[in-house]
Structure 1
């Protein structure tokens, strides 16, 4: 049996601001923006290439605004992803990598582009946090 995670509900304080951030700043695809009443609105967006969507709105059960931490977006090229984020004006940590020698984070991309070693950290306007993580880089030793 497959168990597929296909939707995550985020708490946000301003639906229009969140919609703009996810569609314009992060480039997610807008799937749904439906408002049945002043007490119910659902916005669903999906990262390009992802099978899992993100939903936020009014009258949804879910997390408090800013309470969702550590969501991961996986990319093949962390440098290209960072350049895209920077070009869209997204504030982030910059590229960091896990330094095996020190056991901590160091500036820049992992020199060998090993899977799950390079990151960019960012927050949405409410403080929900995202980790952009590199895996399956072409030419990487993995």
Structure 2
């Protein structure tokens, strides 16, 4: 195994989610295609990222809004936070130090929660917050 390339994000409306992730979050549209009569593949992601998101409606075990724990590293978390807020993205709060680094969590229109993390921020272990 080498890397994770695609993470499925459960959404209720793929077109609305595509607009949110491309226009408000600032991701680029990587791939969009139809397969079968009713399935629509929409893949978005950071312009320079290795991994991307696919906006899915077809997994019964993944209801819209159920995604938690996805972390995206940012070169400048504060700048990304401010730019995304200016485009209408809702955050649970401002960036703050937590175990594992400095994070800011945003929600998409379905309630999925995605964490932005300051790349290279001190992890909890380095601050004595996490012990092994």
Task: Give the TM-score normalised by the residue count of structure 2.
Answer: 0.80
**Long gaps (5+) in structure 2:** 122-132
Q: Paired residue for 2:102, among 103, 110, 118?
A: 118
State how 1:34-113 maps to structure 2 within 5 Å. Answer: 34-59=33-58, 63-92=62-91, 93-98=93-98
Q: Which one has a bigger Cα radius of gyration?
A: 1
C-alpha RMSD of the superposition: 2.3
Partner in structure 2 of residue 16 of structure 1: 15
How many residue pairs are counted as aligned between the two chains? Answer: 121
**Long gaps (5+) in structure 1:** 104-115, 138-142
4+ long deviations beyond 4 Å: 58-62
Please say if residues 42 and 60 of structure 1, whose CA atoms lie closer than 8 Å, have aligned partners that are also in contact: no
Q: Structure 2 CA distance, aligned partners of 1:62 and 1:35?
A: 22
Task: Give the TM-score normalised by the residue count of structure 1.
Answer: 0.74
